[in-house]
Amino acid sequence: MSKQPRAWQRMLSGRRLDLLDPTPVDIEIEDIAHGLAFVARWNGQTEGDFPYSVAEHSLLVEALFSRMYPTANAAAKLTALLHDAPEYVIGDMISPVKAAVGPEYKELDKRLEAAIHIRFGLPAQTTSALKKRIKKADMVSAFMEATQIAGFTEAEAKRFFGRPADELIAGLDIHLRPPVEVRRAFTARHAELLEALP
């Protein structure tokens, strides 16, 4: 009889997160922030002395989202901050790899996202309207990352991600930081948004 493969991961908090059946009780923001601060975007193919992490990307997406939708409430902003949170466990796969892996990746991502959202007082499923708004901010972030640190020409980035208005991205230049700094910034922003929830 073959042994069932292990489908859980021990987190630094001591939690044991079951990837096939994640529960909100096993989600800790410190684990998320730590994991995301060490997961590199763009498969690590970025300029600079530090990798551009998913935590840094998430902070940028939330800042862009807040600029694009200034009347958005704290729950919407928190959802934007956590939009890639499942990647603290499953890593950041570039779109072509996600397509090759198939629907199983998407299902795993959805289960983790639901547990994370419930843990922090958000609806398990994000509405399609909010998802679209966050995706718009994500595309602006992708353009900025592509042109500032990932070696894309502006014409290439515009073709793939669209060209954002200059006033939207003014003052939001990307500066790579050590993972420990990004982890602190992510945790601090999460705490601010959590405090602002009704």
Q: Is the pLDDT of residue 114 over 90?
A: yes
pLDDT of 193 higher than 60: yes
Query: What is the Cα–Cα distance from 155 to 128, expressed in whole angstroms?
Result: 30
Q: Is the pLDDT of residue 85 over 70?
A: yes
pLDDT in the model for residue 1:
56
List the one residue out of 27, 186, 51 whose CA is nearest residue 114: 27
Cα-flanking dihedrals φ and ψ of residue 60, to 5°?
A: -65, -45
- CA–CA gap between residue 11 and residue 130 (Å, rounded): 30
Task: Supply the pTM of this predicted model.
Answer: 0.93
Q: Is pLDDT of 194 > 60? A: yes
- Catalogue all structural domains in the chain, each as residue range(s) with its CATH number: 25-194 (1.10.3210.10)
Between 20 and 143, where is the model more confident?
Answer: 143
**Side chain identity at 30, as an amino acid letter?**
E
pLDDT score for 86: 95
Residue 105 pLDDT exceeds 90: no
pLDDT at 2: 62
d(CA 57, CA 55): 5
Mean pLDDT of the chain: 93
**pLDDT for res 191:** 98
Q: What whole-number distance in Å separates Cα of residue 133 and Cα of residue 191?
A: 22
Q: Sign of the CA dihedral 148, 153, 47, 94?
A: positive
Residue bearing the bigger pLDDT, 52 or 96: 52
